[in-house]
Structure formats: structure tokens, C-alpha cells
């Protein structure tokens, strides 16, 4: 696992850790079952506070990317189908809310495109 924290990046360090681990898990660079370093170990390696790494791990666990098994460590979760279901659910929630707000389909799609460009830096 390779992580690089850029201080000059606008994103907070915990978000950089979260995003990089998430991307590596999705791409398969970190396979299902891969054991992540301890919070303290990763914090020392990256020169971050343990609370920063713990916050990233909590966010990753909430996203279903990792799972913590107590003394057995923190592992990359088998989240493929779960992630797809969560994405579909989020899309349905957005569509329902856009409709309640009176937005048309094109206006809602434009809002999604803008949000995706902002999130992915495109």
C-alpha cells in the first residue's frame, strides 16, 4: 500500500488517506482481505496524528470499504455489491429529492455532473 499526503493539497489529510485507500481498494491494488496497518503504525509512517488516521478509517468503515475485526485487524472488505447497492440508493434518494424540489430531469443531471466534476477534479 502506497499513500502520499500532500500538505499543499486543498483536501484535509484524513480525506487524502480515505480517498487513496478507497481508490486502491476499488482498483484491486488492495485486494479483499488485505490487512491494513494499525492506526498508530500508519500515522507514524505518514507523519500524521493517530486521530487523523482513525478518522479516515472510521469514514472508510462507514463507506463499507474496510472492516475492523478487533484483534484480527482492519481489512479491505468485500464491498463490490454493497457499494453498488449504496450508490443506487444514493441515486434514488437524490432523484426523489430533486423531484420534490421541482427540478426537471435535465436540471438534476446538470447538478450531478457539476458535483461529479467537483468531486473528481475534472
Contacts of 13 (CB under 8 A, 6+ apart): 5, 46, 48, 52
- Of the pLDDT bands very low, low, confident and very high (cuts 50, 70, 90), residue 27 is confident
- Of the pLDDT bands very low, low, confident and very high (cuts 50, 70, 90), residue 121 is confident
pLDDT of 93 over the 80 cut:
yes
What is the tens place of the pLDDT at every residue in 37-78?
Answer: 999 999 999 999 999 999 999 999 988 899 988 888 999 987
Pairwise CA distance, residues 101 & 115, whole Å: 17
- Of the pLDDT bands very low, low, confident and very high (cuts 50, 70, 90), residue 20 is very high
Pairwise CA distance, residues 93 & 11, whole Å: 26
Phi, psi of 64 (to 5 degrees): 80, 10
> Which whole number is the average pLDDT over 112-116?
93
What is the DSSP code string of 49-118? -HHHHHHHHHHHHHTTSEEE-GGG-EEE---HHHHHHHHHHHHHHHHHHHHHTT--HHHHHHHHHHHHHH
Are 68 and 37 within 8 A, CB to CB? Answer: no
pLDDT at 119: 86
pLDDT at 81: 60
Amino acid at each position: 500500500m502506497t499513500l502520499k499526503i500532500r500538505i499543499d493539497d486543498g483536501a484535509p489529510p484524513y480525506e487524502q488517506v480515505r480517498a487513496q485507500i478507497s481508490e486502491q481498494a476499488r482498483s484491486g491494488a488492495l485486494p479483499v482481505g488485505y490487512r491494513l496497518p494499525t492506526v498508530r503504525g500508519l500515522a507514524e509512517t505518514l507523519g500524521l496524528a493517530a486521530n487523523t488516521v482513525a478518522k479516515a478509517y472510521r469514514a472508510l468503515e462507514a463507506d463499507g470499504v474496510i472492516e475492523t475485526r478487533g484483534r484480527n485487524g482492519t481489512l479491505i472488505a468485500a464491498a463490490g455489491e454493497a457499494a453498488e447497492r449504496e450508490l443506487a440508493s444514493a441515486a434514488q434518494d437524490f432523484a426523489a429529492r430533486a423531484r420534490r424540489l421541482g427540478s426537471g430531469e435535465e436540471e438534476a443531471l446538470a447538478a450531478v455532473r457539476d458535483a461529479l466534476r467537483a468531486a473528481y477534479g475534472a
